[in-house]
Chain A
């Protein structure tokens, strides 16, 4: 079954981000926003090219693009900038601020505040004061003390350990958002909530 374009649109990297933003948008009470995963950062450029050709896209009034900064927040924004340009879409000069008309376009680079990282880092910021995070930190220190190697993506691993402390264990980041395990009222989510309200309200 092919996806039909509705309006407005939020483009995210993958399935976890889709579930995460679906839960956050519901929490904010925003209506009728279509969230579409573009299949990873390398796929954004061809995805945008195909999206603008899709039936119904000419009716889209606002478009948000979200991707992880990874190691280079400026490089990540530049890559979204280039992909928007290649698809002949309005190109904002900086993250968060919507630009253009029909569609109005805004870009969000996670975790935000000009630093490297990803959605996992944002979620860890949001639960930094949770008592279980002390146990999470101790777990990784223990691994080091025992001379064991740490995972490549330490933030992802910390999220998994944190989620293992919840009532329903074994959820992934997006599923945890749906289950209400991320505190939406936390200050860490301020920029993300502000971004969604500015582009979609």
Chain B
């Protein structure tokens, strides 16, 4: 569970810090202020040793294809990760996690021939792959270095994009905890949700989804995965004499199911949701937050979400105020004198702002 997080030279941020992070965290702010970028930074940090995640961020933003050019001055797939597209800087992501301690991730684009040669050599000596010796030059490949600093340990991992594709050196180990990114533009395939439901079922934890969905649809009695035309799909029994596919019950049900399944599949980990209010009617938002809060607690999962919606913020505040504990935090990103900062609302400040109609988005 993250307690604090700091990002430097990433996307639009020169430097931005989050303190007093809670189990469920909502990030608000105007358009183009960095809400999604902050989720991306958390996603990269959660991935820990895996520089390849940087390439997935483009896909989350709806950019599926990356034009590849080679040469010292060519654009790289990572340029947009660096503030002002300045790849001579180093991106730094630092997080304090109560389980894994303090960890710093640094991203650096390697362009200089001598640096590339050194990396080629170090990979040659450390790699146990049959292809062995690697010759790197900016005319053949683009290279991103990920340095992970944990305590007094420093480890470096590289993602190399060449004409033959993408390769990692060395192969990164699994991250210390699971993390899922639910992008605003990318719908989670029903089959993926069904697979995650199956994983919960294996562990006998499938009732977590049933209970969460019953908050919105009290008629729901049971859930089952049905394979139709080779595609698994979650169905529900709402007393109609037959099972009904979850997406047919409504977008709100399908969205909540995706949230809950991601949370349930990330025990002790992190779930990041961009524009969480999408597809959800304001009247069910308090119920959705209550369900998210309960499942996040059950699986000890930390949730970070973004929103543009005041109704969403008010609903979250109401749901957590009425719950057993207020393990919720609102951060509002704002620009002051060309610098971005995160304003942290605790329960008292948020209550006063909502009661008196002060702007919190």
Contacts and interface: CB of A to CB of B under 8 A. Distances in A.
Contact of B356 (A4, A38, A55, A58): A38
A155 B192 CA distance: 69
B353 A54 contact: yes
Given A37-B356, A53-B360, 14 more contacts: A2-B359, A2-B361, A3-B359, A39-B355, A43-B356, A46-B349, A46-B351, A46-B352, A47-B352, A50-B353, A53-B332, A54-B359, A55-B332, A56-B359
A80 to B, nearest CB: 15
B334 A49 contact: no
B220 interface: no
Given A2-B310, A53-B332, A53-B349, A36 B343 contact: no
B345 interface: yes
B228 interface: no
A5 B343 CA distance: 15
B356 A3 contact: yes
Interface in B111-156: none
Contact of B355 (A5, A43, A49): A43
A25 interface: no
Is the interface on chain A under 10, 10 to 19, 20 to 34, or 35 or more residues?
A: 20 to 34
A66 B361 CA distance: 27
Given A55-B334, A58-B336, A49 B349 contact: yes
Interface of A: 1-5, 36-39, 43, 46-47, 49-51, 53-56, 58
A37 B358 CA distance: 11
Contacts of B345: 50, 53
B240 to A, nearest CB: 42
B359 A36 contact: no
Name B's interface SS: mixed
Contacts, number: 57
Interface in B311-361: 332, 334, 336, 343-345, 348-353, 355-361
Contacts of A54: 353, 358-360
Nearest to B336: A58
Between B355, B359, B361, the greatest number of chain A beta carbons within 10 A of the residue's beta carbon is seen for: B359
Interface residues of B, number: 20
13 contacts: A2-B310, A4-B359, A39-B352, A43-B355, A46-B349, A50-B349, A50-B352, A50-B358, A53-B344, A53-B345, A53-B349, A54-B359, A55-B359
Given A2-B310, A58-B336, A51 B351 contact: no
Contacts of A50: 345, 349-350, 352-353, 356, 358, 360
A79 to B, nearest CB: 16
B295 to A, nearest CB: 29
A36 B356 contact: yes
Between B332, B343, B358, the greatest number of chain A beta carbons within 10 A of the residue's beta carbon is seen for: B358
B353 to A, nearest CB: 4
A2 B360 contact: yes
A3 B355 CA distance: 11
Contacts of B344: 53
Q: Which 6 A-B pairs have the closest CB atoms?
A: A46-B352, A50-B353, A2-B359, A50-B352, A50-B349, A49-B349
A3 B348 CA distance: 18
